């Protein structure tokens, strides 16, 4: 089929790739600065004039390359337009009778066309499909419309060089279908994951079996691997300490604020935090604290730290004050430690009391003077 329309040069704007050509100039016999061809003096150095580059890195011949018209160095050193091409104002184009059908300048203008009455025919063996724009149905999902035909995309300078719905990463000249999984989530072909950092194309989501731990792992190529800056167990960390899925680098000597920190930092479940320092526990039971407190049944082991019950050998206990033994009561004034039983609840408790003859001998909160056994003031509760 013969398609008739005007000849169009295929141009590609290359990114700015330039080497600053600058050198110290020589001097003539009179001491004046002398620079090689296609250069000018700038300050105390020679620099290339606009449109020229020193592509062979030989300053003796100056800036020998015309990057405005040289198809092997079009726009910058080393940027070749390929075969059957021309360089116009630093942009690649095709010679008459050829087109760059695949959009790639590495192989230049690879397709020969027949010029007829101001138009051209694409060679019959190309197999290209006609189109009007990149979003033509026959160009989807990954071709572009160039010169009226669907062709493969290549290096891009803008979104028009990329398939429908894709965008051009102008910094790298790369067409990208996606930049994150959200760009692929509405697909119906199963390709719901963005291949970030590689092809930037939507690919099939690979499922790990068994499933990965969402707290510390991600599925990669069908295998569970540690997520960035995460750990699942102590062996995942150089310090051998994994706390809440984060490697902890604390030492046992570090300042602590609670017992849990010491248990982890010191690799010992018994260590406790005392005065912001991790130390071994002082006790594991109340009895171990009695000696420190000086009285039997006086010690209290609280979180590995010994405390003394109050009162505990104070020697000041008055009527119905709680006591552990006589040493807690005011023995100088006749008070002793007595075990009482609440007649209503049956609860037993120790309280300081003294002997009596009648109820009037008992001060509050005692309620009576017992007459059975030892005659003592009776307390219904202790304070």
Q: Average pLDDT for residues 256-271, to the nearest whole number?
A: 79
Q: Smallest Cα–Cα separation from 108: which of 97, 116, 100, 117?
A: 100
What's the CA gap between 318 and 74, in Å, rounded? 106
Residue with tokens 């891009």: 156
Q: What are phi and psi of 40, to 5 degrees?
A: -145, 160
pLDDT band at 296; cut points 50, 70, 90: low
In the predicted structure, residue 15 carries a pLDDT above the cut 70: no
Contact 349, 321 (CB under 8 A): no
| Top-confidence range, 115-119, 201-205, 217-221, 360-364 | 360-364
pLDDT at 249: 76
Helix (H) or strand (E) run with residue 250 in it: none
Helix (H) or strand (E) run with residue 114 in it: strand 111-116
In the predicted structure, residue 13 carries a pLDDT above the cut 50: no
Distances (CA, A) of 68 to 9, 121, 382: 16, 30, 105
Contact 123, 104 (CB under 8 A): no
pLDDT band at 372; cut points 50, 70, 90: low
What's the CA gap between 45 and 59, in Å, rounded? 12
Token pair belonging to 359: 């109820």
- pLDDT tens string 57-69: 888 888 999 988 8
Residues forming beta bridges with residue 322, ordered by sequence position: 351
pLDDT at 2: 35
In the predicted structure, residue 232 carries a pLDDT above the cut 50: yes
pLDDT band at 5; cut points 50, 70, 90: very low
pLDDT at 63: 92
In the predicted structure, residue 367 carries a pLDDT above the cut 50: yes
């Amino acid at each position: 089929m013969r398609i008739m329309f005007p000849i169009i040069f295929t141009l590609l704007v290359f990114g700015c790739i330039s080497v600053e050509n600058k050198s110290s100039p020589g001097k003539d016999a009179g001491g004046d600065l002398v620079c090689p061809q296609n250069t000018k003096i700038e300050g105390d150095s020679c620099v290339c004039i606009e449109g020229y580059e020193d592509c062979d890195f030989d300053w003796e011949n100056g800036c020998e390359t015309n990057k405005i018209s040289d198809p092997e160095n079009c726009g910058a050193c080393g940027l070749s337009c390929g075969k059957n091409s021309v360089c116009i104002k630093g942009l690649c184009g095709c010679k008459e009778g050829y087109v760059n059908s695949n959009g790639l300048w590495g192989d230049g203008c690879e397709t020969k066309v027949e010029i007829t009455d101001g138009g051209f025919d694409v060679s019959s063996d190309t197999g290209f499909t006609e189109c009007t724009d990149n979003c033509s149905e026959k160009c989807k999902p990954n071709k572009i419309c160039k010169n009226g035909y669907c062709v493969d995309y290549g290096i891009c300078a803008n979104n028009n060089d990329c398939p429908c719905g894709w965008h051009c990463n102008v910094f790298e000249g790369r067409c990208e279908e996606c930049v994150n999984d959200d760009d692929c989530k509405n697909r119906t072909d199963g390709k719901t994951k963005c291949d970030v950092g590689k092809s930037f194309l939507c690919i099939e989501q690979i499922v790990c079996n068994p499933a990965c731990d969402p707290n510390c792992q991600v599925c990669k190529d069908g295998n569970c691997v540690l997520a960035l800056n995460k750990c699942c167990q102590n062996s995942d960390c150089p310090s051998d300490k994994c706390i809440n899925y984060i490697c902890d680098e604390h030492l046992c000597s570090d300042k602590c604020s609670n017992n849990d920190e010491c248990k982890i930092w010191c690799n010992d479940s018994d260590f406790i935090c005392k005065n912001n320092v991790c130390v071994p526990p002082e006790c594991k039971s109340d009895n171990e604290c009695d000696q420190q407190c000086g009285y039997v049944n006086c010690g209290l082991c609280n979180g590995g730290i010994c405390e003394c019950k109050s009162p505990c050998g104070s020697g000041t206990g008055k009527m119905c004050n709680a006591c552990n033994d006589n040493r807690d009561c005011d023995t100088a004034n006749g008070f002793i430690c007595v075990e009482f039983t609440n007649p209503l609840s049956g609860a037993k408790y120790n309280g300081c009391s003294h002997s009596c003859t009648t109820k009037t001998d008992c001060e509050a909160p005692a309620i009576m003077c017992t007459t059975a056994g030892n005659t003592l003031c009776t307390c219904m509760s202790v304070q």
